[in-house]
Amino acid sequence: MAKRKLNFDRIMEAAEEGEGAGFCLACGAEACGVEPDARGYECESCGAKKVYGAEELLLRIGG
């Protein structure tokens, strides 16, 4: 999957789908099968421990 820029609309779309999506704050990769409140999971793309659940990110940015 090609990486897309991480922005509010992309996070909201993932949260609304309810499929367990998360995002890496280091590289922007989308992660599948993460808990909505995930924090600091390891990214399969870059290895950074910066994957957060979509819902958690919305809470953090005040969405």
Q: Model pTM? A: 0.86
Instruction: For residue range 10-56, list pLDDT tens digits in order.
Output: 999 999 998 899 999 999 999 999 999 999 999 999 999 999 999 99
Position 63 confidence tier, pLDDT thresholds 50, 70, 90: low
Query: How do the domains of the chain map onto residue ranges?
Result: 8-61
The CA angle 21-25-28, to the nearest 5 degrees, is 70
pLDDT for 1 beyond 80:
no
* pLDDT attached to residue 25: 94
Pair of tokens at residue 50: 């910066």
Single-letter code of the amino acid located at 36 = P
